[in-house]
Structure 1
Amino acid sequence: MVRKFSVLIANYNNGKYFKECYESIINQSYTNFEVIIVDDASTDDSVEIIKRIISGDDRFKLFENESNKGCGFTKRKCMEYAEGEICGYLDPDDALYPTALEKSVAEYDNNPEIVATYSRMMMCDENLTADKTFSKTKQIYNDKYFFNCPVQFAHFFTFKKEIYQKTLGINPELTSAVDQDLYLKILDHGNPAFIDEDLYKYRLHSNGISQFKSKKKAKESFARVIFNTMKRRSIKMINRQTVPQTYTNEKDIYDLLQYQTKVAFRLKTKARLFFNF
């Protein structure tokens, strides 16, 4: 079965990095793809750069927000244009390994019940030179108490469009923790497959939204995403602690999940994965 893959790119002022992102896409071993790019009213020359690079390649489609709307709005907009059966976000300053799409799609062919895939990612310097694999990524045990806190998976995350359409979609009001919001909403509907190899190159640089700026805001946004997930899943108690009726502060949310950082919990999770229960 040949599935169409929608590569989704939300851009804001990352035009100078886009060429490597583009080249990583056109060099994919899997060729049945489209690329949806939505520019969030960049103030640099991103649009001109992107237009020049993708010129003549009708697999790439560029759209522009009339004004700056933020990451959540822009990533949600990407999904509105996506036509592929399988979707995955690629940041314009990052890149994919050549087999990223092929190996992701293969997981859906091998296991039709899964709703998503995720892989390991390679941490790179500003020049996209590989440094080391992100060490926290691992196979997860997905139940209603899994919130990816502490982080256990990230890029390269792909998902079925039909599953996304069963959710409320990415929260357009979010400016950070947008990916976490997506992950948890997709996992409400089933299990992911873990691809135990690097498929994604993550560029560390001073302009990266999630790297050196607004860390406090990102942490608070993630707490709200977790709280909303608890409410969406009708969770009233966690580890014999009561979930607040309304959001109070980030500390109260993270305190509820402290038990998931303990050795006993990690051993229990490993046992569940080993015995598949």
Structure 2
Amino acid sequence: MNKVSVLIANYNNGKYFRDCYESVISQSYENWEVIIVDDCSTDDSVKLIKELIKDDVRFKLYQNESNKGCGYTKRKCIDLATGDFCAFLDPDDALYYYSLECSMDEFQKTNKIVATYSQLIFCDEKLNPIEIFSKIKQINNNRFFFNSPIQLSAFFVFKKEAYLQTCGINPNLKNAVDQDLYLKLLEVGDAKFIDEVLYKYRLHNNGISQHTSKQSAKESFSRVIHQAMKRRKITSINNIPVPETFTTSDEIYNLLNYQTKIPYRLMNRIKSTLNI
């Protein structure tokens, strides 16, 4: 049975960590570890986490010497992982008891994929379900796929050996870190969509993704996309040149406007269904 490293990058989410913790220890899949890296939280996160995980050797807690940000902390999580597979779980979110088992079953079926991802459900602050994020679908992976608009998200499980073939998460990123990871791994191999809800995404005012301004997130994602274009040696899209250096987020998103149109999305859905 392959070992899975559940990776938790924490910053000031101590009040929510118990739900996260209990969702992991209830997993039906038994061979796992949890790597927690705290990014110099200013709440009582470390105290609460230490109390919960004490005497359980499957949990390992590390602390950054100074506040480094999301990209640095998530990259460090992977560097510290000893599992064959890795999966990020935010400390304010939670899994279903079958989430790891369901994900690992897909890897048992084929060795042609490097990652799996699933449906997620939005929950309120008390983790009560609100609605499923219906935009997540099976993607048609090719060098022009940039996950904009988002079609690929949590629960994302990936082979560590595939990650090691990439340059790794950009440690300087403050947001769009998951998108950076997805695009780099998709350059190594394909990802399989699991059409089941495996991830509980908690909506609250203190979350990093909600707290960060939309404009900042938009710019970070466009920079990630531009870097992917450069890695993939894409010099033009629909006869429009890809800029050598990043200028504005709008310039990048305008290159991808055609991917939001219905004909393009229908064609991609057909290709995904037919596996072509």
**Bigger mean CA offset, 263-272 vs 127-136:** 263-272
Distance, in Å, in 2 between the alignment partners of 1:138 and 1:10 is: 26
Is structure 2 residue 186 aligned with structure 1 residue 187? yes
Is structure 2 residue 250 aligned with structure 1 residue 264? no
Which residue type is aligned with residue 264 of structure 1? P
Q: CA deviation at 1:212?
A: 4.2
Per the alignment, residue 225 of structure 1 pairs with 224
Distance, in Å, in 1 between the alignment partners of 2:56 and 2:213 is: 36
Q: How does 1:84-123 map to 2 (within 5 A)?
A: 84-123=83-122
Segments of 5+ residues of structure 1 without an aligned counterpart are none
Per-residue Cα deviation, 1:38-96 (whole angstroms, up to 9, x for no partner): 00000110000000000111000000001000000000000111000010000000000
Query: Across the two proteins, how many residue pairs are aligned to each other?
Result: 276
Distance, in Å, in 2 between the alignment partners of 1:211 and 1:145 is: 28
Please state whether the residue corresponding to 1:139 is helix, strand or coil. Answer: coil
Please state whether the residue corresponding to 1:163 is helix, strand or coil. Answer: helix
Per the alignment, residue 154 of structure 2 pairs with 155
Which residue type is aligned with residue 78 of structure 1? C
Runs of 4+ residues deviating >3 angstroms = none
Aligned-pair RMSD on alpha carbons?
A: 0.7
Per the alignment, residue 30 of structure 1 pairs with 29
Alpha carbons 1:72, 1:178 under 8 Å: kept: yes
Alpha carbons 1:9, 1:91 under 8 Å: kept: yes
Q: How does 1:116-135 map to 2 (within 5 A)?
A: 116-135=115-134
Q: CA deviation at 1:274?
A: 2.9
Report the TM-score when normalising by structure 2.
Answer: 0.99
Per the alignment, residue 9 of structure 1 pairs with 8
Which residue type is aligned with residue 133 of structure 1? I
Please state whether the residue corresponding to 1:8 is helix, strand or coil. Answer: strand
Segments of 5+ residues of structure 2 without an aligned counterpart are none
Per the alignment, residue 40 of structure 1 pairs with 39
Please state whether the residue corresponding to 1:226 is helix, strand or coil. Answer: helix
Distance, in Å, in 1 between the alignment partners of 2:242 and 2:270 is: 27
Identity %: 60
Which residue type is aligned with residue 259 of structure 1? Y
Q: How does 1:40-59 map to 2 (within 5 A)?
A: 40-59=39-58
Q: CA deviation at 1:144?
A: 0.4
